[in-house]
Amino acid sequence: MTNGRGGAAEVVDSVGRSKRYQVAERIYSIYHVMRRRSGMRPRLEGLIEFMAHMYRPEELLRCVGWIAQEACGLPPSARAEHLIALDSLVRRCEDGGFLSALGQAPEAEASLRGALEGPLDGPAVALIWRGLAMILGKGEERLDECVDAYRRSIELHPTIDAYQGLGDLLRGSMKRPSEAEEAYRKLLELAPHHPSAMCRVGRLIGSDESRRVEAEDWYRSWAEALPDSVDATLHLAGWLLRSGDAIAAEEARGLVAKCVDLGPKDWPDHVHLVDLMDRTELAPETIASVAGRYQEGTEGSALAQRMLHTARALSCSQRADVLELARGFCSDARRIDPEGWCPSPEEIEIQIGLQDWAAAVAVLQALAADPRHVWRHLGELIPVMTRVGAFAPELLLEALDALPAEAGVWPMIVALRLDLGRESNAPVEVAEVAKDLLDDIRNIRAEADGDASVAGSP
């Protein structure tokens, strides 16, 4: 979206409603921010927010390097603005899927490593190491280097973001849960009761069968320390529901009812609450009432998005009346904001749950019409499409014919066709990847066939 290092913006095609954004709107937005915000940090963060909309991910990372190198040539007393910009940039690059969208960024890595040679002090160098960790962690080949980069950042200037980045890496790709827990606990020393760290430690403890009592104590201590926190209360309720104990389940219902009264307005708490309302079998009318409060004060695309938040949270419900409620929210969202509507696997799940196979395939075909949708949801599409194939194989074959035979999608298409008993003339390299996917598909299909034997074919 930019033209070279200077950042001159150009309008480009994008997905959905974002296609209609005009550069002038963004320019006005930053003008408004600069007028309203006082102080150096808020104004610089406003500029970074503008850059985040107008620059590609790899360009943002290069900006980190450029600003760091420029700071090297300044005396320590003159680096304050550069350090604020660096911190805000790195936060932006870590947020909102930038890392997953990041392409090749060799210039960014070289620029950051060059900045390490300059005369920067601890906090600035710590930011550079955190930026390097982002680049090193985007593949599977350099994860040890990524861990080292996070640790160097922490040694120089421990921060919440660095500890969380290290913990997430160790918990996920590295599969080192005890070290991840240690990182999160260090984060909590900096910020007691930090929500995401509390949640992550709870999950790590709870994943060990021998520590289940400790896990419950952990969630209770969180909820007791912050009695008005919807997040803490819902996590305790969720843990109690997973226990399978009738007394614990009754306590969980009481906690969910407390959160219904609090009426959370932010997206994560609302989605979590709606999911637990369904799991505790509260009436669809009560769920609709909570959703209505969540939608208050919004209109247009913002209202449509809030409707979809609720619908997607309910997409795995086992209750037909709740799924009908979710389908209604999807229909209303599409009617209110047709240009901003993007099909999703959750909407397909809703139609599957209602055994409306034609509608499920229609959403799937709408999703397949744009390869970018397919890429965005590739990991979620395989189980969804497998379930459609278990009940409506001919409809799935029609949908597969509409999918683009691109490199990353083609093996999935071939594997699904093989699962349905169709031959393939795909190249050898595509067929080999498809065979690897086929085992996963058959495991999912076995579960779906079990459901089909109960529900019956349409």
Same domain for 372 and 457? yes
Q: Phi/psi at 9 (nearest 5 deg)?
A: -85, 145
- pLDDT for 312 equals 93
Spatial separation of the C-alpha atoms in residues 291 and 311, rounded to whole Å: 10
Instruction: Please check whether residue 238 lies inside any domain of the structure.
Output: yes
The model's pLDDT over 213-232, given as tens digits with 9 standing for 90+, comes to: 999 999 999 999 999 899 99
Q: What is the DSSP string of 262-285?
A: H---SHHHHHHHHHHHHHTT--HH
The model's pLDDT over 122-155, given as tens digits with 9 standing for 90+, comes to: 777 887 888 888 878 877 788 999 999 999 999 9
Spatial separation of the C-alpha atoms in residues 351 and 388, rounded to whole Å: 10
Instruction: Please check whether residue 315 lies inside any domain of the structure.
Output: yes
Same domain for 245 and 330? no
Q: Phi/psi at 53 (nearest 5 deg)?
A: -80, -30
Instruction: Flag whether pLDDT at 455 surpasses 50.
Output: no
- pLDDT for 92 equals 60
Same domain for 237 and 202? yes
Instruction: Please check whether residue 431 lies inside any domain of the structure.
Output: yes
Distances 115 to 74, 80, 112, 120, 128 between C-alpha atoms, Å: 12, 16, 5, 8, 8
The model's pLDDT over 232-290, given as tens digits with 9 standing for 90+, comes to: 999 999 999 988 889 999 999 999 999 999 878 788 999 999 999 999 999 999 999 99
Distances 260 to 220, 282, 293, 317 between C-alpha atoms, Å: 19, 11, 10, 19
- pLDDT for 120 equals 65
Instruction: Please check whether residue 71 lies inside any domain of the structure.
Output: no
Instruction: Flag whether pLDDT at 66 surpasses 90.
Output: no
Two tokens at 326?
Answer: 């979710």
Longest pairwise C-alpha distance within the chain: 74
Instruction: Please check whether residue 153 lies inside any domain of the structure.
Output: no
Same domain for 458 and 371? yes
Same domain for 380 and 451? yes
**Of residues 408 and 221, more confidently modeled:** 221
13-22, 347-356, 380-389, 424-433 — which one is most confidently predicted on average? 347-356
Same domain for 398 and 327? no
For residue 240, give its domain range: 196-262
Looking at every residue in the chain, the average pLDDT score rounds to 80
Cβ pair 343, 359 in contact under 8 A: no
Q: How far apart are the first and last CA of the chain?
A: 48
- pLDDT for 180 equals 96
Instruction: Please check whether residue 245 lies inside any domain of the structure.
Output: yes
Instruction: Please check whether residue 346 lies inside any domain of the structure.
Output: no
Q: What is the CATH number of the domain that holds 250?
A: 1.25.40
Instruction: Flag whether pLDDT at 164 surpasses 90.
Output: yes
Spatial separation of the C-alpha atoms in residues 254 and 329, rounded to whole Å: 27
Same domain for 372 and 453? yes
Same domain for 390 and 324? no
**Of residues 29 and 218, more confidently modeled:** 218
Same domain for 376 and 329? no
User: Considering just the CA atoms, what is the radius of gyration of the chain in Å?
Assistant: 24
- Token pair 């409809």 is at which residue? 395
Same domain for 287 and 258? no
Q: What percent of the chain has pLDDT over 70?
A: 77
Total domains present in the chain? 3
Same domain for 426 and 372? yes
Instruction: Please check whether residue 62 lies inside any domain of the structure.
Output: no
Of residues 244, 240, 296, the one with CA closest to residue 270: 296
Distances 28 to 22, 32, 41, 46 between C-alpha atoms, Å: 10, 6, 19, 12
- pLDDT for 258 equals 94
The model's pLDDT over 88-109, given as tens digits with 9 standing for 90+, comes to: 766 665 543 444 334 345 566 7
**Of residues 21 and 47, more confidently modeled:** 47
Same domain for 420 and 378? yes
Identify the helix (H) or strand (E) that includes residue 2: strand 2-3
Of residues 60, 57, 64, the one with CA closest to residue 102: 57
